[in-house]
């Protein structure tokens, strides 16, 4: 514990000398959430990154999130504690495959809406970006005469189609963590907690979404659970969210959504970041996010459009 405390103090000291800001996603380990300047969902983190005046952004999340921060801050130093912290969803839509698909379907004149969980290369091929927190609003703003290609999450895309009534073509990608939640596993936990509303992330499958009382982004889960009269909630998303909810709403009970194998679901990529790696990143100013300028500049346009449309 003493070492842990020293480490936290050293990180905070480095943060001051580097004039750094520490941004953390809701799925980060609790030690990181507890010392971050801001903890939130992809949307909140994008806004924080766009408005910071720090010289260094230590991004505790996965690669595409740190990349997004770099795209809107080309002159700042953006570090990710573990460069291997990727995302299965982002991997499911490589930029070269998307480029080939768009080329082969030029006649369709697609309007590409990309969920933020994708690489800078995919963002550079897109018209607008969205997150789970604003996807419905963003899709509603797309000109009605355009045919939408939604990449890379088919579950989130299907949910957005239901909410907006807008037809879209969906890229067949998914998040390996959220598709682990099954109908039978959620039905089982519901019998143990019959009064607890089920709150699920839109990356979950349709079968699981059908059992949910609320489907929303991680940040909106906080608001929903705060405002609901219920005392206990079944939270169907990555396990880090439970720490955020318990810290923010200490009087209520949060039960992790189980999978068929486990009592909760961890994202192995999100969990790669540790206090030790964060310390090293602030000390060495690496691993640093580097993006070729033409890709960065092209990827910035759809991000700026998102920030404007969802303001
Ligand atoms: P949120 O933007 O809702 O936090 O989702 C991010 C994510 O990676 C979900 O798996
Ligand atoms: Fe990607 Fe899924 Fe992990 Fe989110 S939880 S970062 S979508 S693999």
What share of the chain has pLDDT > 90, as a percent?
98
pLDDT at 1: 42
Residue nearest ligand 2's atom 6 by CA = 87
Give yes or no for residue 131 CB within 6 A of ligand 2: no
Mean pLDDT of the chain: 97
Closest CA to 166 of 187, 135, 193: 135
Q: Which ligand number lies closest to the CA of residue 43?
A: 1
* pLDDT 10s digits, 148-165: 999 999 999 999 999 999
The Cα–Cα gap between 31 and 3 comes to: 13
Atom of ligand 2 nearest to the CA of 90: 1
Give yes or no for residue 90 CB within 6 A of ligand 1: no
Q: How many Cβ atoms sit within 10 Å of the Cβ of residue 172?
A: 11
Residue nearest ligand 2's atom 2 by CA = 175
Give yes or no for residue 134 CB within 6 A of ligand 1: no
Contact 259, 181 (CB under 8 A): yes
Contact 270, 33 (CB under 8 A): no
The Cα–Cα gap between 259 and 256 comes to: 10
* pLDDT 10s digits, 101-116: 999 999 999 999 999 9
Residue nearest ligand 2's atom 3 by CA = 267
Which of 66-95 are b and which e, b meaning 16 or more Cβ less than 10 Å from the residue's Cβ? bbbbbbbbeebbbbbbbbebbbbbbbbbeb
pLDDT at 5: 66
Helices assigned H by DSSP within the chain: 2-18, 30-35, 42-51, 63-71, 88-91, 95-104, 120-123, 135-141, 154-164, 183-192, 206-209, 218-227, 240-248, 275-284, 293-309
- pTM, two decimal places: 0.96
User: H or E segment at 234?
Assistant: strand 232-236
């Amino acid at each position: 514990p003493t070492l842990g405390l020293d480490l936290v103090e050293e990180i905070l000291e480095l943060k001051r000398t580097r004039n750094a800001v520490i941004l953390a996603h809701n799925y980060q380990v609790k030690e990181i959430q507890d010392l971050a300047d801001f903890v939130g969902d992809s949307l909140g983190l994008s806004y924080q990154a766009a408005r910071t005046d720090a010289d260094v952004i230590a991004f505790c999340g996965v690669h595409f999130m740190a990349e997004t921060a770099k795209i809107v801050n080309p002159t700042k130093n953006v570090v990710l504690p573990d460069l291997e912290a990727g995302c299965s969803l982002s991997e499911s839509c490589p930029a070269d495959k998307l480029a080939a698909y768009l080329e082969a379907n030029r006649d369709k004149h697609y309007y590409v809406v990309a969920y933020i969980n994708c690489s800078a290369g995919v963002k550079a091929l897109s018209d607008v970006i969205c997150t789970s927190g604003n996807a419905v609003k963003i899709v509603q703003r797309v000109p009605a005469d355009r045919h939408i290609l939604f990449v890379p999450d088919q579950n989130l895309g299907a949910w957005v189609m239901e909410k907006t009534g807008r037809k879209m073509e969906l890229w067949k990608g998914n998040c390996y963590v959220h598709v682990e939640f099954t109908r039978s596993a959620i039905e089982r936990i519901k019998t143990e907690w019959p009064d607890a509303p089920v709150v699920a992330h839109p990356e979950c499958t349709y079968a699981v979404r059908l059992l949910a009382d609320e489907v929303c982004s991680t940040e909106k889960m906080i608001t929903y659970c705060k405002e609901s009269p219920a005392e206990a909630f079944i939270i169907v998303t990555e396990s880090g969210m439970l720490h955020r909810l318990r810290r923010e709403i200490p009087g209520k009970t949060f039960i992790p959504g189980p999978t068929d194998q486990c009592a909760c679901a961890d994202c192995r990529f999100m969990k790669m970041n540790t206090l030790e790696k964060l310390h090293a990143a602030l000390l060495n100013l690496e691993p640093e996010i580097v993006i070729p300028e033409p890709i960065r500049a092209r990827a910035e346009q759809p991000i700026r459009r998102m920030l404007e449309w969802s303001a």
